[in-house]
C-alpha cells in the first residue's frame, strides 16, 4: 500500500480529524436529532471537496441513493419514531458506504450483479490496510527519535500489562470478596487517579477511530482503483428439472384454487363458518397468509433463476403456471388485507398493523413487476427489488407510520368512543400530540390527565442539547407548556 503523503493528503487528514470530532459530538453526546443531518452535511462537504476532480460513475443511481440517505437522516430531525431511529443507525452508514463505492467504481462495474458484493468488501479491506500502513508510518516516525533497545523494552512491558489485565481482574475480585479491609483499600484506588479523565480518553479513542475510518476509506477509493474484469452473466451451477418444477407448480396452484374458492365464499357471501367472529377470524389467519405470500414470491424467484426451460412448450406452460401463482398470491394478499382491516376495526390501529398494511401494498408492487418478469426475461429482478425496497423504506420514514396510527385511532374514537391512551403514549411525541388533541375534545377519558401531567413535567424540566433537537418533540413540548390541566 502506498503510504507517501502529499500536502493535500495531510490537509484531508486534518479535515477527517474534524469530521471525527463532529461525529463524536453528534452521536455520543445525547439523543440523536438534528445532529445526524449536520454531520452528513459536513461529511459530504469533505467528500465532494476531496473528489472535486474525480469523474463519478453511475451518477443517476448515485443521486437516487444520496437523496434517500438525506431523507433518512432528516427523519431524525422531522419525526420521532424510535423503531426507525434504531434501525437507521445501521441502514444510513451502510447506504453511505454503498453510495460512495458505487459512484467511485469503474464504469464497467454493475452494482446489481453478484460480483459487486466482493468488490465492496475489497474496498473496505483496502481501507483497513491503508490505515494499518499509515499507523506503521507514524510509528516509524515516533521510533526514529527513540533508542531501539528501550523501545523494544517498553513495547514488551505494554504487552505484559495487556496480558495481566484479565488475570488481575479475576484475582482482585476473589481477594476483595475474601477480605473486607482489602476490598475497602482497593475500592479507594480509583480516587488516586482522578487526575485522569477516563471519559475524555474514551472520547479521544472514538474520535481517532472515526478519523481513521473516514480517512482510510476515502483515500483508498481515490488513490487505488481496482481493475474490474468483465464477468460473465451469472449462470447458476444448480439447475432444477423443468418437469419436477411443473409438477410442483401444478399441485400448489390446485391448493390455491381451493383456497380462493373458500375465500370468496367467506368474504363475499357475508357469512363465516363455525363460531368465529370477524376479529377472531382475522387474528387467526393474517400472519399465516402473509408468510404464505412471501413463500410464493420465493418460489417464483427460484423458478425464474434456477429452472432450465428446454423447450418452447415447457417454457410457455411454466410461464402460465407462474402467472396463476402470482394471481393466487394476489388473492391471498387481498384476504390478509381484509383480515387485518377487520382486526383494526375491532381493536384499533398500531404501528405494527400499519406497517403490515404498507408492506402488503409493497408486495403488490413487487408481484406486479415479477409478473412482467415472467414474460419478459431480460428484466432484472434484483435491480427492481433493491430500488423499490429502498424507496419503500424511505417513504415510510417520510410518511411516519406513528402519525397514521394517531390519526386513524382518533377517527375511530369519533365513531366508537374507544381509545387506548397508553398506546398513544408509547408512540413518542407524535402520540403525545394526539393525546393533547384528545384532551381538548374530552377531558374525562380515564388515565389521560395523568399521562399528560407526567409529559408536561417532562416538557417543563427538559433541557435538551443541540444534538437532540427534533421538530416533533419541540412542537409537543410547546403544546404541553400551553396546556392547562385541571
User: Which range, of 93-107, 169-183, 381-395, averages the lowest pLDDT?
Assistant: 169-183
**Residue 77 pLDDT greater than 70, yes or no:** yes
Q: Does position 171 have pLDDT exceeding 60, yes or no?
A: yes
Residue 386, Cα to own-chain centre: how many angstroms? Answer: 14
Among the listed ranges 137-141, 316-320, 478-482, which one has the minimum average pLDDT value? 137-141
141 pLDDT exceeds 70?
no
**pLDDT band for position 195 (cuts 50, 70, 90):** very low
- Separation of alpha carbons 45 and 70, rounded Å: 13
**Selected residue with higher pLDDT from 180 and 284:** 180
Residue, of 483 and 48, whose pLDDT is higher: 48
Mean pLDDT of 76-86: 88
Question: 339 with 287: CB under 8 angstroms?
Answer: no
Give residue-wise pLDDT tens across range 85-121: 888 988 999 999 999 999 988 887 788 777 788 888 8
Percent of the chain with pLDDT over 70: 79
Ranked by mean pLDDT, the top range of 222-236, 255-269, 314-328 is 314-328
In the structure, what pLDDT confidence band is assigned to residue 264 with cuts at 50, 70 and 90? low
Alpha-helical regions (H) of 348-380: 351-375
Q: End-to-end CA distance of the chain, in Å?
A: 71
Q: Which long-range contacts (CB under 8 A, 24 or more apart) does 56-60 make?
A: 56/103, 56/104, 57/102, 57/103, 57/104, 57/105, 57/106, 57/107, 57/109, 58/102, 58/103, 58/105, 58/107, 58/109, 58/111, 59/103
Considering the chain, what percentage of its residues have pLDDT values greater than 90?
16
State pLDDT tens for residues 15-52: 999 999 999 998 988 788 899 999 999 999 999 999 98
In the numeric block, which cell numbers belong to residue 425?
403514549
Tens digits of residue pLDDT in 433-471:
988 888 888 888 888 888 888 888 888 887 778 888 888
pTM of the predicted structure, to 2 decimals:
0.79
Amino acid at each position: 500500500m502506498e503510504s507517501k503523503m502529499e500536502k493535500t493528503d495531510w490537509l484531508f487528514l486534518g479535515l477527517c480529524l474534524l469530521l471525527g470530532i463532529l461525529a463524536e459530538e453528534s452521536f455520543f453526546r445525547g439523543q440523536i436529532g438534528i445532529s445526524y443531518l449536520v454531520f452528513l452535511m459536513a461529511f459530504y462537504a469533505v467528500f465532494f471537496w476531496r473528489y472535486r476532480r474525480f469523474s463519478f460513475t453511475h451518477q443517476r443511481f448515485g443521486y437516487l441513493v444520496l437523496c434517500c440517505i438525506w431523507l433518512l437522516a432528516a427523519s431524525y430531525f422531522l419525526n420521532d419514531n424510535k423503531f426507525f431511529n434504531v434501525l437507521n443507525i445501521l441502514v444510513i452508514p451502510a447506504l453511505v458506504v454503498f453510495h460512495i463505492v458505487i459512484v467511485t467504481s469503474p464504469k464497467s462495474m454493475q452494482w446489481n450483479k453478484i460480483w459487486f458484493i466482493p468488490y465492496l468488501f475489497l474496498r473496505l479491506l483496502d481501507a483497513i490496510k491503508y490505515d494499518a500502513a499509515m499507523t506503521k508510518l507514524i510509528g516509524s516516525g515516533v521510533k526514529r527519535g527513540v533508542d531501539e533497545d528501550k523501545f523494544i523494552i517498553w513495547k514488551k512491558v505494554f504487552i505484559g500489562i495487556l496480558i495481566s489485565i484479565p488475570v488481575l481482574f479475576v484475582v482482585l475480585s476473589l481477594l476483595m470478596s475474601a477480605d473486607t479491609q482489602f476490598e475497602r483499600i482497593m475500592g479507594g484506588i480509583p480516587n488516586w487517579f482522578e487526575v485522569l479523565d477516563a471519559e475524555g480518553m474514551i472520547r479521544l479513542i472514538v474520535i481517532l477511530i472515526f478519523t481513521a475510518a473516514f480517512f482510510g476509506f476515502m483515500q483508498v477509493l481515490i488513490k487505488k482503483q481496482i481493475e474490474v474484469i468483465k464477468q460473465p452473466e451469472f449462470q447458476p451451477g444448480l439447475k432444477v428439472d423443468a418437469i419436477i418444477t411443473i409438477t410442483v407448480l401444478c399441485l400448489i396452484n390446485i391448493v390455491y384454487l381451493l383456497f380462493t374458492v373458500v375465500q370468496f365464499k367467506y368474504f363475499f357471501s357475508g357469512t363465516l363458518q363455525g363460531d368465529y367472529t370477524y376479529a377472531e377470524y382475522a387474528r387467526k389467519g393474517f400472519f399465516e397468509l402473509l408468510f404464505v405470500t412471501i413463500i410464493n414470491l420465493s418460489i417464483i424467484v427460484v423458478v425464474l433463476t434456477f429452472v432450465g426451460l428446454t423447450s418452447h412448450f415447457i417454457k410457455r406452460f411454466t410461464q402460465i403456471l407462474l402467472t396463476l401463482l402470482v394471481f393466487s398470491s394476489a388473492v391471498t394478499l387481498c384476504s390478509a388485507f381484509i383480515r387485518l382491516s377487520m382486526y383494526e376495526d375491532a381493536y384499533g390501529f398500531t404501528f405494527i398493523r400499519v406497517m403490515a398494511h404498507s408492506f402488503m401494498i409493497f408486495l403488490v408492487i413487487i408481484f406486479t413487476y415479477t409478473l412482467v418478469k415472467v414474460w419478459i426475461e431480460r428484466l432484472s429482478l434484483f435491480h427492481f427489488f433493491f430500488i423499490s425496497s429502498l424507496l419503500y423504506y424511505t417513504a415510510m420514514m417520510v410518511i411516519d407510520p406513528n402519525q397514521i396510527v394517531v390519526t386513524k385511532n382518533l377517527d375511530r374514537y369519533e365513531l366508537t368512543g374507544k381509545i387506548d391512551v397508553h398506546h398513544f403514549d408509547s408512540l413518542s411525541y407524535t402520540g403525545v400530540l394526539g393525546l393533547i388533541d384528545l384532551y381538548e375534545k374530552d377531558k374525562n377519558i380515564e388515565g389521560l390527565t395523568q399521562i399528560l401531567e407526567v409529559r408536561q413535567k417532562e416538557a417543563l424540566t427538559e433541557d435538551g442539547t443541540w444534538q437532540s433537537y427534533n421538530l416533533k418533540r419541540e412542537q409537543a413540548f410547546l403544546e404541553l407548556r400551553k396546556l392547562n390541566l385541571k
